[in-house]
């Protein structure tokens, strides 16, 4: 009986001790990067009614009182980005000191396995250029990494497992290759610290990264949480949002990058992926309450899937691009030239990160002269059996780099497509097929796996398309 009573007292005493301690939210650790020139959010927990002070070593200070639920939240004005190390002191029932704090640009990086793929690659699946990227991270480039530990939960969580670390060979090799490449290019061009928060899970559907209220915009179906293991979790709405996104909501960011879609390819969501992705983007923006922050994403790459000549992946890519027309301040990186027939994780992750960075550098940081948009179908005209095709976002024209054109197909009234050849006349493209006398439909690289080789002169791939021909010339 004495032992039982003693154990009870220890538990009660420990609980009171924990509750009496000042705590901060999971994203706030030593070595963190806070968004520069902003009113950033900081939050945590303490004893209700406690007077609490948050003070930055750069001269900013704010006071608050812990609410009755034990939560506190403040905003703190941050200075211009620099490589100066600062400290933040939080004084409540106890004192917390956060050291080696930098100010710069902060981006959230999320998605499924192609975002998760580390710089060192997966087993038997390399990342081209990783060796040099890892080696060069030993230089003082002031990139900081926050790796969210993968987890899922049927209940919304307030905390998660993660911490900020400095970028060096020991940390970047296991960090997202796309995210790190993106951040490295930003750091080289902006000359301020870059903070990368990486939260992704291989095989996960987009719906798994939505809050329940967001998911309810898409479906009234019951969400079953019982008996969930990881194999089921990746397909279950809200589970990864609850555990890996919600505890980050409010951490002030500049924007987000997203690489996901493969898991939605073979479901009934394929035809409405633009709605799914739009719901996620708008939902995250509402939760963060930072307006329409930039959201840039990656087209799923060519891959064999369940038959390379099938088109379900091509249809999803078209839905991905449609998102850019439905939701403002978004853009898509095309990977039409970076696929692999046998591997769903293509090796050109550094190039993907660089393309994402070029979008941000151009749209968000005002660096002029960068080519960052892939050409997109504009219109087509048919005369006889020749179809002339025009493109937007190709100011200096298109090219195959003197190679035979691949990837075009034409169809007549029956909708049956046949391979087409192409020719350039004064740098204008015309395509034709001896099997289609009266073309009505034209498509390019519109298969699960393709080897399309049409580019803008600046080297960005033409985005795949499937269109009815616009005009017939007699």
Q: Which of 451, 459, 462, 460 is nearest to 429 (CA)?
A: 462
Q: What is the pTM of this model?
A: 0.94
104 closest CA partner among 80, 76, 87: 80
- What pLDDT sits at residue 30? 98
User: d(Cα 17, Cα 425) in Å, to the nearest integer?
Assistant: 79
First to last CA, the chain: 100
C-alpha to C-alpha distance for 17 and 70, rounded to whole angstroms: 14
Q: How far apart are CA 340 and CA 53, in angstroms?
A: 54
Phi first, then psi: give them for residue 469, nearest 5 degrees.
Answer: -60, 135
Low-confidence ranges of the chain (pLDDT < 70): 1-20, 267-271
CB distance 34 to 55 below 8 Å = no
Please report how many Cα atoms fall inside a 13 Å half-sphere around the Cα of residue 283, on the Cβ side. 23
pLDDT of residue 268: 55
Closest to 36 measured CA to CA, from 76, 96, 93: 76
pLDDT digits (tens, 9 = 90+) for 422-447: 988 777 899 999 999 999 999 999 99
Long-range CB pairs of 69-76 (<8 Å, 24+ gap) are 70/19, 70/45, 70/46, 71/43, 71/44, 71/45, 72/43, 72/44, 72/45, 72/46, 73/41, 73/42, 73/43, 73/250, 74/41, 74/42, 74/43, 75/39, 75/40, 75/41, 75/42, 76/39, 76/40, 76/42
pLDDT (tens digit per residue) in 372-413: 999 999 999 999 999 999 999 999 999 999 999 999 999 999
Q: 233-282 pLDDT, tens per residue?
A: 999 999 999 999 999 999 999 999 999 999 999 765 455 999 999 999 99
Burial call 342-377: b when 16+ CB within 10 Å, e when fewer: eeebbbbbbbbbbbbbbbbbbbbeeeeebbbbbbbb
Contact 182, 353 (CB under 8 A): yes
* CA-wise closest residue to 270 among 261, 257, 260: 261
pLDDT of residue 472: 84
State residue 425's pLDDT score.
Answer: 79
Q: What's the pLDDT score for residue 267?
A: 60
User: Phi and psi dihedrals of 106, rounded to 5?
Assistant: -115, 130
How far, in Å, CA of 240 to CA of 259, rounded?
Answer: 15
Residue (of 336, 331, 383) closest to 359 by Cα position: 331
């Amino acid at each position: 009986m004495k032992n039982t009573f003693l154990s009870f007292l220890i538990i009660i005493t420990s609980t009171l001790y924990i509750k009496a301690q000042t705590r901060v939210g999971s994203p706030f650790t030593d070595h963190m990067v806070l968004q520069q020139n902003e009113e950033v959010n900081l939050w945590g927990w303490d004893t209700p009614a406690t007077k609490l002070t948050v003070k930055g070593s750069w001269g900013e200070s704010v006071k608050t009182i812990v609410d009755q639920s034990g939560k506190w939240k403040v905003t703190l004005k941050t200075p211009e980005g620099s490589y100066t190390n600062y400290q933040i002191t939080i004084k409540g029932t106890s004192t917390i000191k956060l050291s080696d704090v930098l100010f710069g640009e902060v981006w959230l990086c999320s998605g499924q396995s192609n975002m998760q793929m580390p710089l060192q690659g997966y087993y038997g699946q390399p990342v081209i250029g990783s060796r040099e990227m890892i080696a060069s991270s030993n230089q003082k480039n002031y990139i900081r990494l926050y790796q969210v530990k993968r987890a899922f939960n049927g209940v919304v969580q307030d905390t998660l497992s993660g911490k900020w670390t400095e970028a060096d060979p020991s940390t970047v090799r296991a960090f997202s290759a796309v995210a790190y490449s993106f951040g490295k290019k930003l750091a080289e061009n902006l000359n301020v610290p870059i903070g990368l928060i990486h939260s992704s899970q291989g095989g996960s559907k987009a719906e798994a990264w939505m809050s329940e209220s967001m998911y309810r915009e898409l479906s009234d179906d019951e969400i079953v949480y019982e008996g969930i293991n990881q194999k089921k979790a990746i397909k279950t709405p809200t589970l990864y949002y609850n555990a890996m996104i919600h505890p980050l909501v409010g951490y002030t960011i500049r924007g987000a990058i997203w690489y996901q879609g493969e898991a939605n390819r073979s479901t009934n969501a394929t035809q409405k992926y633009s709605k799914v992705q739009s719901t996620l983007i708008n939902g995250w923006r509402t939760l963060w309450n930072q307006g329409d922050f930039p959201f840039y994403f990656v087209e799923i790459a060519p891959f064999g899937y369940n038959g390379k000549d099938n088109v379900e992946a091509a249809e999803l890519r078209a839905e991905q691009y449609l998102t850019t027309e439905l939701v403002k301040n978004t853009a898509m990186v095309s990977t039409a030239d970076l696929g692999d027939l046998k591997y769903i994780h293509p090796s050109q992750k550094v190039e993907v990160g660089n393309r994402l960075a070029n979008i941000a550098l151009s749209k968000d940081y005002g660096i002029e002269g960068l080519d960052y948009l892939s050409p997109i179908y504009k219109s087509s005209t048919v005369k006889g059996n020749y179809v002339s095709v025009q493109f937007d976002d190709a100011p200096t024209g298109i090219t195959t780099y003197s190679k035979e054109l691949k990837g075009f197909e034409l169809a007549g009234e029956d909708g049956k497509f046949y391979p087409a050849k192409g020719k350039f006349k004064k740098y204008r493209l015309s395509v034709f097929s001896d099997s289609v006398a009266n073309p009505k439909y034209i498509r390019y690289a519109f298969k699960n796996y393709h080897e399309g080789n049409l580019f803008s002169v600046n080297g960005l791939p033409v985005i795949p398309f499937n269109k009815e021909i616009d005009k017939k010339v007699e």
